[in-house]
Amino acid sequence: MSATSYGWLVLAFPLAGTLIIAFGWRVLPGRVPGWIATSAIFLAFLSSIGALLDLLDRSEEERQLVDTAWTYASTGNFKVGLEILVDPLSVFMCLVVSGVSFLIHLYSVAYMGGDRGYARYFAYLNFFVFSMLLLVLAGNFVILIIGWAFVGAASYLLISFWYRRQTAVAAGIKAFVINVIGDVGLVIAAFLILDNVGSLDFLPVFQTAHDHFATNDSTIVWACLMLLVGAFAKSAQLPLHTWLPDAMEGPTPVSALIHAATMVTAGVYLIARMHPLFELAPTAADIGAILGCATLLFAGTVALVVTDLKRVIAYSTISQIGYMVMGVSMAAYSAGLFHLMTHAFFKALLFMGAGSVIGAMAGIQDMDRMGGFRRAMPFTFVTFAIGALARAGFPGTSGWFSKDEILAFAFNRGGWYAVLGVLGYVGAFLTAFYSFRMVFRVFYGNAVPEAVELESGHVAHGEPMNPMTGEPEDTDVGFPGPEHHVAERAWPMKAAMGPLALLAIVGGYVAIPGVDNVIANFLEPVFADSPLAQDEPSTGAEWLGLVIGGAISIVGIGLAWTIYLRRPGTTARLVERYPWAHRFLEHKWYFDEAYGALFVRPFATFGSFGRRVIETDFVQGTIVGGATGVVRVSTSFARAIQTGYLRAYALLLLVGVAGLTLYFLINSS
């Protein structure tokens, strides 16, 4: 079978999974929907491997294959079809997406047990994976936009999965609205490209882009800026990032899948895929790099003070994607995508570990109430620590290799990009610090009552309530189920976290500078047309960067150890001394308040004005009332004639006869 057939299979399995679960949920008992979904994704993963093997069989020039299922529209010389593009980049993304999704599905089989919406969850999750794979395999702008929109819809469905929780529904709406802003940007970019190039298919556009646009032509710059809007909305970068922390209202595996490993990386994939266009518009690429850098610093500072466990990980995601965006904007494509892969591993692992801890805490997510879980949950502790080390870029972990490769590229480009590199190292320091802030606060220190209960073998059980607001809930459909699952007790969760921990450690060894460069070599056919990407830093420069990065991470971990373990109470003193800084960071630099005042409140006012004045008075009163009033008045005369009296009718007859006779008399004389 050729690679494109494997490509269609990759899409078909998750779609089949969704449909089977969606239509058959009444007859599938217990955990069967979960196993169906997991096997669907596993089959998709196998198909991706099939596609990979087929691609490797071919020579390097023949590795970009396009296949069209059918043509939607064909007018003149413009054709749009259901087209997939199977090339190293899309196969790479497919492998990452389907592999990590498979492990997360496995985790969810146990984690979501007992929830009344079990089948619905897996149907949505499979639909999400299908959409993401569609996005990644898209061969033209139309399919890309379709996948993009589906992914946004699936994200909304999964964030507001516990739909009776007000905060979850509000978060889902917020995510969807911001995603739509991105969709608009993407569509406008597609229009601009279609207008100037005349085609929407990727390969023709990329190959002829330099014929249609001069470098830094204003059209291509605007098109790339619109693409950036789309990418930033999906990947939660400044200024469209506000939805991601709120999206933690969804179940933890959803956060792992969508908001760590796959959906938020769609923006990075987009920039990498559109790299010929971005290289024609260096202005836009530079803006992307600067915003990526700003994002990673912003998110890093906020992650220092946030106390909700999942939100710390969310801000860290924003920050890490800032690295990736910065990387691919600076033409460090394979480095950025390599970091995407390793980030998928350790971020999913961290979320899974957080899910296990939250299960032990009976649903509470506040780190202030956690502590000392080290003895009660050894497996979770070890895997969580591995994830944190990878994120911090500890020497030897995959995160170390990937993050510092990006920064080495930055220094290699020179000029003001070196400033971005320095800021990247500052961000790395912050990352190391807050990663271990999490580890030390949750697993070290005095054991809280829930941990003590767990040590004696009994998972804590609290009153069901909303972890953010404390409102009481129940455990029926629309709210989380009554069971709480801990990794030590549920083998699917262990089976999922184990491989990820392993990958978080060894995953970096595919790209050791000077030794092997598997990823860059594999992706080379895609980026062969980019002169900037060929300009790789030397092995020595990369090793220097790695050493600096490793040192910074060790310093950061050490600082966290000092503040949280050696001298507890330091944070309290710092908060006392700099209350305004603490408040600024706690309110996430007041972005939500600013957006609320600038956009939400004017629109809400206009909406209520519309309902009160325009709808009621203008439309109902004037237009509708006016139209019916005119009809009523004009027919009242006709109605007045229908008196029902025979004599009146006879009189009318007589009047008519008199009139007619008069007319004929006058006419004939």
Partner 1 sequence: MWFEDVLFFIAAIGALAGALGVVILQNPFYSVLSLVCHLLGLAVLFLLLNAEFIAAAQVVVYAGAVMVLYLFVVAYIGGADEPLRPESGGIALFGPVFAFCVAVELCIAFIASGLKALNTDGPDVGAGFGSPGAIGELLLTNFLIPFEAASFLLLVAAIGAVVLARRRRGLES
Partner 2 sequence: METTWYLVLSAFIFAIGVSGVISRRNPLVVLLCLELMLNAGNLALVAFSRMHGGEAGQVFALIVMVIAACEVVIGLGIIVAMYRNRLPIDIDEMSELRG
Q: Contacting partner 1 (CB under 8 A), which of 515, 641, 647, 667?
A: 647
Residue 627 lies near partner 1 (rule: CB under 8 A): no
Residue 661 lies near partner 2 (rule: CB under 8 A): no
- Judged by beta carbon, residue 604 or residue 657, the one nearer partner 1 is 657
- Judged by beta carbon, residue 580 or residue 645, the one nearer partner 2 is 645
Residue 640 lies near partner 1 (rule: CB under 8 A): no
Amino acid 623 reads I
Q: Contacting partner 1 (CB under 8 A), which of 70, 580, 637, 645?
A: 645
Q: What are phi and psi of 373, to 5 degrees?
A: -85, 5
- The answer to whether the CB of 312 falls within 8 A of the CB of 438 is yes
Which of 348-356, 446-454, 509-517, 642-650 is the region at the interface with partner 2 (rule: CB under 8 A)?
Answer: 642-650
> Rounded CA gap, 629 and 647, in Å?
31
Q: How many residues bind partner 1 (CB under 8 A)?
A: 12
Q: Closest approach of Cβ 654 to partner 2, in Å?
A: 6
Residue 648 lies near partner 1 (rule: CB under 8 A): yes
Q: Closest approach of Cβ 664 to partner 1, in Å?
A: 8
Q: Contacting partner 2 (CB under 8 A), which of 650, 656, 659, 662?
A: 650
Residue 631, binding choice from partner 1, partner 2, none, Cβ under 5 to 8 Å by partner class: none
Closest by CA position to 341, among listed 324, 325, 357, 366: 324
Residue 642, binding choice from partner 1, partner 2, none, Cβ under 5 to 8 Å by partner class: partner 2
**Residues of span 401-420 touching partner 2 by CB under 8 A:** none
Residue 613, binding choice from partner 1, partner 2, none, Cβ under 5 to 8 Å by partner class: none
Q: What are phi and psi of 578, to 5 degrees?
A: -125, 65
- Judged by beta carbon, residue 422 or residue 650, the one nearer partner 2 is 650
Distance of CA 14 to the CA centre of its chain: 18
Q: What are phi and psi of 83, to 5 degrees?
A: -120, 135
Q: Contacting partner 2 (CB under 8 A), which of 645, 665, 666, 668?
A: 645
Q: Closest approach of Cβ 630 to partner 2, in Å?
A: 20
Q: Closest approach of Cβ 634 to partner 1, in Å?
A: 23
Which of 8-16, 332-340, 375-383, 651-659 is the region at the interface with partner 1 (rule: CB under 8 A)?
Answer: 651-659
- The answer to whether the CB of 143 falls within 8 A of the CB of 134 is yes
Torsion sign over Cα 599, 317, 479, 438 = negative
- Judged by beta carbon, residue 633 or residue 665, the one nearer partner 1 is 665
Copy the structure tokens of residue 342: 């390793």
Helix, strand or coil, per DSSP, at residue 608: helix
- The answer to whether the CB of 292 falls within 8 A of the CB of 228 is no
| Residue owning tokens 């700003």 | 294
| Residue owning tokens 């190959």 | 207
Residue 646 lies near partner 2 (rule: CB under 8 A): yes
Q: Contacting partner 1 (CB under 8 A), which of 518, 528, 551, 654?
A: 654
Residue 422, binding choice from partner 1, partner 2, none, Cβ under 5 to 8 Å by partner class: none
- Judged by beta carbon, residue 518 or residue 648, the one nearer partner 1 is 648
Under DSSP, the state recorded for 447 is P
> Rounded CA gap, 397 and 506, in Å?
7
Amino acid 594 reads A
Residue 616 lies near partner 1 (rule: CB under 8 A): no
- Judged by beta carbon, residue 630 or residue 651, the one nearer partner 1 is 651
- Judged by beta carbon, residue 642 or residue 668, the one nearer partner 2 is 642
**Residues of span 72-101 touching partner 1 by CB under 8 A:** none
Q: Contacting partner 2 (CB under 8 A), which of 59, 472, 639, 669?
A: 639
| C-alpha to C-alpha distances, 216 to 212, 284, 547, nearest whole angstrom | 12, 9, 37
- The answer to whether the CB of 291 falls within 8 A of the CB of 325 is yes
DSSP notation for 149-196: HHHHHHHHHHHT-STT-HHHHHHHHHHHHHHHHHHHHHHHHHHHHHHH
Residue 312, CB-side half-sphere exposure with 13 Å CA sphere:
27
> Rounded CA gap, 537 and 471, in Å?
54
Closest by CA position to 233, among listed 253, 247, 254, 251: 247
Q: Contacting partner 2 (CB under 8 A), which of 642, 667, 668, 669?
A: 642
Q: Closest approach of Cβ 633 to partner 1, in Å?
A: 22
- Which positions ≥6 away from 189 have C-beta within 8 Å? 223, 224, 226, 227, 230
Which of 308-316, 356-364, 570-578, 638-646 is the region at the interface with partner 2 (rule: CB under 8 A)?
Answer: 638-646
The residues that touch partner 1, with contacts defined as CB under 8 A, are 645, 647-648, 651, 654-655, 657-658, 661-662, 665, 669
The residues that touch partner 2, with contacts defined as CB under 8 A, are 639, 642-647, 650-651, 654
